[in-house]
Structure 1
Amino acid sequence: MDSFRPNRSLLNAKFEGYKLDPIRQEDVVDRYKLSRKPTQATASSKIPLSFQEMRSRISHNHLTVDSTSGRAIYVDEDYAVCMIGVPTGKEGESVMQSSPSFRILYEMATPMETSSSVSVQREYPSSAFISPTTIAVTDGNGLLYILPIRESDTSEPIGMFTLRTGSPFDAPFRIHHAHRASATTIVLLLSSRFYPSEDFPSSINKTNPNDRSVEFDIWATKIELLSLRSGSELRELEVLWHRRGNDVPIFTEFIEQVNAFLIIGGSTYPDPNSPPLQKPYEPSADEIAPIPRAGENLDKDASMKQQSKPHPYSWTQTSDSVTVAFPLPSSTPKTKIKVLFTTQTLTLHVNSFPLESSDAPPVPMPHYSAKALWDSVNPSSCFWTWDKEGESSYGLLTLHMEKKNEGTRWMQVFASSASSLNGDEENPEVPESLDPSELANIREALEKYTASLKKGEDSSGLGLGRGVPSLAEGEMDEEADSAVGRQAWATWVGVDGQTPAWTREASGDRATREEWEQEPFVLLSTPIPGSVQENKDLHLVIKQDVDGAVYSLLPSDGNPALKWEHTSTYHALSFVLASKRDTRFTYTIPRRGVLAFEGGSARDRGANVYIYRPVEKTKDKWAKQSVLQVDDGSGGALLGVGRINEVLVCLIEGELVLIKGV
């Protein structure tokens, strides 16, 4: 079921980019000062935060919204549960005729520091709407409160609960999802960090918390509404089922059609009752010993097959000159070669261009900007020549430099090469060719080295075509692009805690595949909180090369009753998101756009939301983009985002920001 297969007809390699569609800030954005401020601060602990916890806290949404009632909940820095009444209206109507209302529902007790509490990491407070008039709230220290919402009065808890995790430390937990299983039963999906032993605080490396594997528990707990009443004593939550994985869930939802929970996270969450699945042993390349045939010398054959990468240039010298030769495709026009000599430096640029000969494989072009030479030269006596060698795939660009200090023997061509370590690709140590006739050998070595590459223009060298939209041509940064999104897995858990049978049956001939064979995907965006009112609105945006493919959970005629289908594409979304370095939340408004919210950690700069609209037609070359300022530089960091009807509700440290009509 979780096979995300792209529909090629919905991709567009000719997409050019996004054009700015200005929105007047004063027409859509309203700001309101907060008297009760939320915070990102937590108490210190003996246990350092793991990488997974740090990443989860950065993306933690401190705001909970309910579209039905038009209410939002957050917990302030003093553990007071604050409610916001957001003015709403039907689509197309004004929703800002009145100001939002603010009031305190309940003041939770401030957690006290004890010897056990400093041995575990506190969580951020979290909350969920059980109904439009009832909420569940955690204090981040192991207590859960059930609070009714009264119209004009503060609330008193009608239930207080704790979670018995079974580990030496009852870890704090957070709420991920609340499911109304029946008229009288609520199922809460919780997560907590797993603490394996009592000596855990002393055994962990405090300078590197990732030295030891960190695991996280997923708990499905049941609360009977009929048992709730004011003044109830503290009770333990009833655990329905439990899973464990290596990361905190990113997104959770209950899917009515298949009667199962969907958990998307940075790891899988296998069934603990199932026997562990062992991955078959695969020998490494060094352990594989081929069997020789009669008369076959494997050592000799291996040495012949091994092809080392040639040096980027070859050089030789006499008492008064240095000669350097660079291999270039023979189709290189002379006009593309720029050489400049100074007394101490060399500048050599060979501009990139389409090769005229399809038989010549692409090679890196030499690019040196004011590169320091080993010793001084006489610029007026230096020159260069270009030998195309038309019958060969490569020619030689030869630089002839006259030494200023005649008789001085150069150890290398460039000064940086002497201090570089072996294997430094930017400043390799290139040995001198004692025989000038060996300069031509570099041409032959380069051709042998590149002969194994398949022909083609594509960046992978696999002959699959260009594979890069024109928007990204010449501008791709593989390191930046690889950091976009989160690698994730989808785990399905039935209401009984078992893995649904159809998760394997849907794999067809792969029905016996093991857990370790599940294919991960790169998640770019999830639905904005408040937008998933019906399952038909459940969309995930997944990275597809430089695009963002929208996968919708739609009805299916087979088993299961739902399937992921590629329904639309945000072209070049992955590419444009790679340029955003302060993104805290990336959410999707179904069929309306993808919103990238900056965190706003730099107070003097503020924070923006970037809105990327879908194309009107699949083959359109342009789409619309808008930018709005969420924080003007005085409100603080962005802590939470939600959507109530046509209003975006943004919670920052000092303000509530409402954006209408997005």
Structure 2
Amino acid sequence: MKAFGMYNYLHIDPWYEESVYFIDCKGRVLNQTVTLDTALGKPREMFRITLDPSSCAGERVCPSLSLTSASGAALSDGAGRLILLRTSKRGESSHLKWEPVFSESLGEPFTILHSVSHVQSGVHIVEVLLLRVQKDPSDTMGSGFYTSLEWVTVDNSSGEEKKYGVRKRRVMKGKSVPHYAALEPQGKGLMVASERPFSFKEVDGVPLEETAAEDMEVENSDPIYFWQQTEEDLTVCVRLPEGTSKDDICFNLSADGMSVGVRGYAPLLQGQLFAPVDPQASVWTITDNKSLEVTLQKRSEGPQWSELVLGDRRGEYIFSEEQTSQLHQRLAHLTAEQLNANPDKDKPPCNAQELEECDGFPEDSSTLMRFDGTTLKPTHVVNLGSHQYLFSVDINTGEMPVFCLRHDVDALLWQPRPEQLEEKWEHIATFNALGYVQASKRDKKFATCAPNFSYSSLAECVRRVFIYRQPSPVDTQLFNRKLGRQVGQVAKQQVASLESTETVLGFRATNERLFVLTCSKLFILKVNN
């Protein structure tokens, strides 16, 4: 449902914002362009998908389109064929039909999540990210399916302008449909946000060697390590195989990362630490019970770590008795024997039954990962916790799509910055209270915002569109009675009701307009002048 039922059939051209594209039921790629304020020109057919009679018999998914550059596009026919198109400069040559430069069947049907185009050493390269949901015969306890993301690289390295071929195919697998998946502009990496982690499994049809193949004889169900912490330091106990001596230990520690392993085997514990430590004041030793004990000195005393190594779930955290008693003491004033001890007080304790559904956060926590395109290993891992994913949108043509997360009641927009060494994601805008408001919209299907962040918008499955404008100055004097102070700005919320009872299939925004696609109509809502 998430992969195909929630697909956004409407595509806006970031290089020419007054123009939208969609694929109709006849396989035609149609373009419509705004001519006046809310008037559209006649739909123009840019390309028509011709299906193989043999491919029509099998399973199919919705055809999908991705605008790769100002003069290129990637198209899926829904039956497993990838088509790359030369579109000319669409704003200037919108009357010209698109010309295919590559067309090849890539196996099972897929939808296109993202695509980018770049030139390297005179060779034109197109990177395309494909999504499939496939059967998993080995998964007898779960859903019986897995999600695969295939990163396909196509180029014209032969030197002939119109002769493109597949250079590389990389496949990663996971157990959930990603919230966000996008390629970096130069094809050097990939970013994925999902509830379940993804990892690369094969390259050009050859399975990657699993590091777990050389794992030590440790039960998979048992934790590999245990850890505790105080305000000043952490203690980590790593289980070792029998017969391990001091000379066999491979231990590396920096201020931000650590690696623990045994010579001849894959690392037992490796990655970026939750927070910086002091390597000079940290030590390790082998204990009597044949485990490696590591003491790490925190660089900043006080803050509690929520995990040891970012993204590593193979360890178990143990509360010390001292910590447990301290927590009980600190929380004692917040608890009472009865659920609501004194309801007549000024600020009575909160009853869980009184919370609205939209106050709750998702139980599953998501992870945002950045994978290197050469090593195919994760270089950055961020646990999003309860920061619910809301939507993604293209803001700048030369950069990756922006994604929006709920932070408490607000919604924050984050711009990926792959060129930066450390801070890979930058906070660029905030929609106040949108995180809270959107949670109450149970029939919400699509969400988006204007490229200049002047408003955000939600579309329900049928008819209604909600517009949330950024706060703007008010002419009259308003006072907040509770706080007793003057209010200088007010954020407006508006509802548009479409003259249609058809399901909304596509939803896109520009700085001035909202485009809403149904089975038989394309609506334009004028939002800003």
User: Matches of residues 129-148 of structure 1 in structure 2 within 5 Å?
Assistant: 129-148=67-86
1:174 counterpart (105, 111, 118) = 111
Which deviations, in whole Å up to 9, do the C-alpha atoms of 1:180-222 show, x marking residues without a partner? 131611111111123345xx9xx98xxxxx9534211111112
| Aligned equivalent of 2:104 | 161
User: Matches of residues 472-551 of structure 1 in structure 2 within 5 Å?
Assistant: 476-477=355-356, 479-482=357-360, 488-496=366-374, 498-501=376-379, 503=380, 518=383, 520-528=385-393, 530-535=394-399, 539-551=402-414
- Indicate whether 1:184 and 2:113 are aligned: no
What RMSD in Å do the two structures reach over aligned CA positions? 4.3
- Indicate whether 1:267 and 2:196 are aligned: yes
The SS at the match of 1:577 is helix
| Aligned equivalent of 1:107 | 48
| Aligned equivalent of 1:337 | none
Question: Could you tell me whether the CA contact under 8 Å between 1:159 and 1:228 is conserved in 2?
Answer: no
- Indicate whether 1:214 and 2:145 are aligned: yes
The SS at the match of 1:181 is strand
- Aligned-residue sequence identity (percent) comes to 17
| Aligned equivalent of 2:26 | 78
The SS at the match of 1:574 is helix
CA distance in 2, matches of 1:598, 1:59: 12
CA distance in 2, matches of 1:143, 1:154: 20
Amino acid at match of 1:74: F
Q: 1:581, CA displacement in angstroms?
A: 1.6
Q: 1:631, CA displacement in angstroms?
A: 2.2
| Aligned equivalent of 1:361 | 336
Amino acid at match of 2:117: R
| Aligned equivalent of 2:444 | 583
Relative CO higher for 1 or 2, CA cutoff 8 Å, sep ≥ 6? 1
Q: 1:154, CA displacement in angstroms?
A: 4.1
> Which structure is larger by alpha-carbon Rg, 1 or 2?
1
Question: Could you tell me whether the CA contact under 8 Å between 1:586 and 1:597 is conserved in 2?
Answer: yes
Which deviations, in whole Å up to 9, do the C-alpha atoms of 1:235-289 show, x marking residues without a partner? 9844342211112233233345994221223322123345249976259xxxxxx
User: Matches of residues 586-601 of structure 1 in structure 2 within 5 Å?
Assistant: 586-589=447-450, 591-600=453-462
The SS at the match of 1:638 is coil
Question: Could you tell me whether the CA contact under 8 Å between 2:15 and 2:397 is conserved in 1?
Answer: no
CA distance in 1, matches of 2:125, 2:187: 19
CA distance in 1, matches of 2:104, 2:190: 23
CA distance in 2, matches of 1:494, 1:191: 19
Q: 1:97, CA displacement in angstroms?
A: 7.7
Pair 1:125–1:181, CA change in 2 (3 A):
same
2:8 counterpart (39, 53, 61) = 61
Amino acid at match of 2:11: T
After TM superposition, the structure 1 stretch with the greater mean CA deviation from structure 2, 131-140 or 272-281, is 272-281
User: Matches of residues 313-392 of structure 1 in structure 2 within 5 Å?
Assistant: 361=336, 363-364=338-339
Question: Could you tell me whether the CA contact under 8 Å between 1:586 and 1:594 is conserved in 2?
Answer: yes
CA distance in 2, matches of 1:153, 1:78: 20
| Aligned equivalent of 1:608 | 465
Question: Could you tell me whether the CA contact under 8 Å between 1:525 and 1:594 is conserved in 2?
Answer: no
Q: 1:553, CA displacement in angstroms?
A: 4.3
Amino acid at match of 1:573: L
Q: 1:158, CA displacement in angstroms?
A: 2.9
CA distance in 2, matches of 1:531, 1:360: 47
Pair 1:135–1:566, CA change in 2 (3 A):
closer
CA distance in 2, matches of 1:229, 1:160: 16
Pair 1:485–1:99, CA change in 2 (3 A):
farther
| Aligned equivalent of 1:654 | 520
CA distance in 1, matches of 2:81, 2:187: 32
Question: Could you tell me whether the CA contact under 8 Å between 1:553 and 1:564 is conserved in 2?
Answer: yes
Q: 1:128, CA displacement in angstroms?
A: 1.1
CA distance in 2, matches of 1:359, 1:526: 36
CA distance in 2, matches of 1:66, 1:394: 59
The structure richer in strand per residue is: 2
The SS at the match of 2:491 is strand
Amino acid at match of 1:495: G
Pair 1:485–1:571, CA change in 2 (3 A):
farther
Question: Could you tell me whether the CA contact under 8 Å between 2:132 and 2:147 is conserved in 1?
Answer: yes
The SS at the match of 2:523 is strand
Structure 2, unpaired ranges of 5+? 88-92, 202-207, 225-332, 475-482
Amino acid at match of 1:543: R
Which deviations, in whole Å up to 9, do the C-alpha atoms of 1:267-313 show, x marking residues without a partner? 22123345249976259xxxxxxxxxxxxxxxxxxxxxxxxxxxxxx
Which deviations, in whole Å up to 9, do the C-alpha atoms of 1:153-198 show, x marking residues without a partner? 54453321111xxxxxx3201111111131611111111123345x
Pair 1:155–1:255, CA change in 2 (3 A):
closer
CA distance in 2, matches of 1:154, 1:643: 25
Pair 1:577–1:359, CA change in 2 (3 A):
closer
Q: 1:72, CA displacement in angstroms?
A: 2.4
CA distance in 2, matches of 1:486, 1:586: 21
The SS at the match of 1:194 is strand
The structure richer in helix per residue is: 1
CA distance in 2, matches of 1:230, 1:147: 13
Amino acid at match of 1:212: S
Pair 1:261–1:359, CA change in 2 (3 A):
closer
TM-score, normalized by length of structure 2?
0.61
Question: Could you tell me whether the CA contact under 8 Å between 1:86 and 1:101 is conserved in 2?
Answer: no
Pair 1:240–1:143, CA change in 2 (3 A):
closer
Q: 1:586, CA displacement in angstroms?
A: 1.7
| Aligned equivalent of 2:135 | 195
CA distance in 1, matches of 2:187, 2:125: 19
Question: Could you tell me whether the CA contact under 8 Å between 2:132 and 2:148 is conserved in 1?
Answer: yes
TM-score, normalized by length of structure 1?
0.50
- Indicate whether 1:123 and 2:52 are aligned: no
CA distance in 2, matches of 1:105, 1:271: 36
Which deviations, in whole Å up to 9, do the C-alpha atoms of 1:577-609 show, x marking residues without a partner? 232121001223353233111121xxxxx2223
